[in-house]
Amino acid sequence: MSNAVIIAGGGTGGHVYPALAIAQALQKQDSKLHIYFVGTKQGHESRIIKEFPIFFLPVSGLNQMSVLQKILTLIKIPLAFILSVYILLKIRPKYVLGVGGYASGPFVLVAALLGFKTALFESNAIPGITNRWLSRFVCVCMTLFEESKKYFKNKNIILTGFPVRSVMGPSPQREGTKMRVLIFGGSQGARGINSTVSEALSLYKKELASIEFVHQTGKLDYSTISSRYKDHVNVTCLEYLDPIKKYYDWADVIFCRAGASTLSELAVCGKAAVLIPFPFAADNHQQKNAESLVEKQAAQMILQKEFTPEVFKKKVLEFAGDKSLIAMYEQNIQRLYKPGAAETIANIILEG
């Protein structure tokens, strides 16, 4: 057995970034450790992961596919299992970690059946179907939500917190008195948020004139949305937030989705937020994530079907008129951050 760890999964930034944080923590603790990734060519991991070798499996989701595409995808599944066996027998890792995403399922299952030590990291309040099913085969399940425990068929469950990018840290005390609002929907943007916010900033231009806005749209909507802000001196429209930490530090209040990665970054930075969960997320996990924070008075939530221009305006003005409200959410969300999550997970793997 080689001195190697394989991390399987990806798809979204919410899976890839914590996986990278874990890989970096593993390397810090054991500089001689070889780390490999397993993902898909369609996932974010194919462009984000540069510093570690990566293998690709021919797997993908079956949602929003034609019948022919679904048949071709199903045909490739046996190949994914064969490739998983080949990779595992070639590298013979001391540990395999699944972080969610299409590649995680077949690879972690094969690793467990072949007798390799395996673990899952689940980032959402409600684990996906694959992780729920896989949990009975792996040595340990790691998660950040207490609510997740009841879904796992495993007695060895550890609450670790969420591994965040090394660039993240508590935001410094904001200078200036002008209210600042950040709106973003992830790297791809969020059309439901984009259309509502741009409409609100046009309809209520005078009422919101004293407030500064940064609106990240993603690539697809950038041209359309940015053209609507030509005459808005208090609105900055961006395709991407780079570096994102700069904008977390800049903002007083953030309107965003409720993926686990985003929520963890809000907690690290200590930011007041209004969460608009993606309504089509698997098992409605974003709403469950948001509800978990709302119960702890660590954030507010507005369902997308209720997120209208008027609701957005009222919510912005509510925060602008009550700075103590912002301070309360900042304090409460910071309490949810568990520092050293990546190091904790690395320790579990290296000691396993």
Q: What is the CA radius of gyration of the chain?
A: 21
Q: How many domains does the chain have?
A: 2
**Least confident stretch, 9-13, 111-115, 204-208, 296-300:** 9-13
User: Of all residues in the chain, what percent carry a pLDDT higher than 90?
Assistant: 69
Q: Is residue 84 part of a domain?
A: yes
Residues 138 and 13 in one domain: yes
Has residue 21 got a pLDDT over 70?
Answer: yes
pLDDT-derived band at 309 (thresholds 50, 70, 90) equals very high
Q: Where are the alpha helices (DSSP H) in 229-279?
A: 244-250, 260-269
pLDDT at position 61: 63
Statement: residue 89 has pLDDT above 60: yes
Give the tens place of pLDDT for each residue, 143-156. Answer: 988 888 999 999 89
Q: What angle do CA 131, 337, 263 make, to 5 degrees?
A: 60
pLDDT at 296 > cutoff 90: yes
Banded model confidence at residue 73, pLDDT cuts 50, 70, 90: low
The pLDDT, as a whole number, for residue 212 is 98
Instruction: For residue 4, report the phi and psi dihedrals to the nearest 5 degrees.
Output: -145, 150
The mean pLDDT value of the chain amounts to 91
Determine which of 55-64, 126-135, 326-335 has the lowest per-residue pLDDT on average: 55-64
Tell me what pLDDT residue 69 has: 63
Residue 278, CA atoms < 13 Å, CB-side half-sphere = 18
pLDDT for position 176:
77
Residues 305 and 343 both lie in one domain: no
Distance between CA atoms of residues 254 and 119, nearest Å: 34
pLDDT at position 17 is: 86
Residue 93 lies in a domain: yes
23 near 38, Cβ under 8 Å?
Answer: no
* pLDDT value of residue 87: 97
CATH code assigned at 33:
3.40.50.2000
Q: What is the pLDDT of residue 26?
A: 96
Q: How confident is the model at residue 32 (pLDDT cuts 50, 70, 90)?
A: very high
CA nearest 35: which of 91, 77, 78? 91
Residues 60 and 96 in one domain: yes
Residue 171 falls inside a structural domain: no
213, HSE (Cβ side, Cα atoms, 13 Å):
27
Q: Same domain, yes or no, for 153 and 231?
A: no
What's the rounded Cα separation, in Å, for the pair 190 and 118? 35
185, 109: one domain: no
**Same domain, residue pair 309 and 276:** yes
Same domain, 108 and 70: yes
Binned at pLDDT 50, 70 and 90, residue 10 comes out as confident
**Is the pLDDT reported for residue 64 higher than 70?**
no
Strand partners, 26: none
Mean per-residue pLDDT, 221-248: 94
Name the band, by pLDDT with cuts 50, 70 and 90, for residue 174. Answer: confident
CA gap 257, 255 in Å, rounded: 7
Q: Which residues, in sequence order, are bridge partners of residue 122? A: 143
**Section 327-333 average pLDDT:** 96
Q: What is the pLDDT of residue 1?
A: 78
pLDDT at 70: 62
pLDDT: which is higher, 117 or 161: 117
